[in-house]
Amino acid sequence: MSQRKQIQIGTVVGQSEVAANTFIISIREPQLVRQVKPGHFVNVSLPSRTNANLLKRPFSIYGTDKEAIQILYKVKGDVTTVMTTLQKGDEVELLGPLGNTFTLPKKKKVLLVGGGIGVAPLIYLYDRLKAHNEVKILHGVRTRQEAMVWANLPVQTHVDEEVGHYVCAGFEKVIRQHEAQHVVTCGPIPMMKEIVEASARAGVSCEVSLEARMACGFGVCLGCVIETKSGYKKVCSDGPVFDGALLW
């Protein structure tokens, strides 16, 4: 019988707080490292911690090194709160890689736009695009405390205290200014909608990465659907990456 995919047990290698309530956790799981591509997510649970929260939690891949994956996460509720207490050596249950992946263009000017924690998958995407493309990253955050320090990355951070989330008013201008040929965005829905519509007006392709509440993460529960122009689609297996034009 052939080797079957298993639930992986990863081991925490390290964790640090990088902004207000925002952490990077590094989890050793060599097999997963070999399989992941930008856009993929993993479904995480914490054995021996929160056993009343049964459902796994989806997180994008933020980065990889030789043997470990990194997740950039923000504390939201039960599981992410407990996640911050994980220490080196603790075990984490991982299901993945899950979902589809970002398009990987070549020789293009690419603009990546992350809102808040939505920047996570874009950093990993940047890593795989930078060799063959000219890539810029815009990161919108609500407050100064949420801003992150980006070493060696072409990130422009926008702090938008007033509006409540990073809305790219006049984003068409931004596209033209950067002469972008391809846009990728992940963040709050209103922001992504704005960017998809601006990209359409500017005539450039735009991919988005969506979130939804999930039970299974691999397409069987039908719980994570979002409405698209061609009916409900499953974020976990039809996405999380969608062509913006399909959505708005």
Residues of the shown chain interacting with ligand FMN in the complex, contacts defined by CB under 6 A:
215, 221, 223
At 166 the three-state DSSP class reads coil
107 binds another protein (CB under 8 A): no
> How many other CB atoms are there within 10 angstroms of residue 232's CB atom?
11
Sole window of 20-28, 78-86, 149-157, 207-215 interacting with its own copies (rule: CB under 8 A): 78-86
Residues 200-229 that bind ligand FAD (CB under 6 A): 211-214
Q: How many CB atoms lie within 10 A of CB 186?
A: 28
Min dist. Cβ of residue 218 to its own copies (A) = 24
Residue 52 lies near another protein (rule: CB under 8 A): yes
- Alpha-carbon distance of 16 to 84, in angstroms, equals 9
Answer yes or no whether residue 11 interacts with its own copies by CB under 8 A: no
Query: Is residue 55 at the binding interface for its own copies, with CB under 8 A as the rule?
Result: no
Residues at the site binding ligand FES, with contacts judged by CB under 6 A: 214-217, 219-224, 234, 236-237
Residues 47/38, Cβ–Cβ less than 8 Å: no
Are the C-beta atoms of 12 and 86 separated by less than 8 Å? Answer: yes
Q: How far is the CB of 70 from ligand FES (least distance, A)?
A: 23
Q: Helix, strand or coil for residue 180?
A: coil
Element (H, E) at 197: helix 189-202
Which class for 162: exposed (0-12), middle (13-18), buried (19 or more C-beta within 10 A)? exposed
Is residue 156 a contact point for its own copies (CB under 8 A)? no
Size of the site for another protein (CB under 8 A): 31
**30-38, 79-87, 123-131, 231-239 -> range binding its own copies (CB under 8 A):** 79-87
> In the numeric block, which tokens belong to residue 189?
């829905």
User: Does 178 engage in binding with its own copies (CB under 8 A)?
Assistant: no
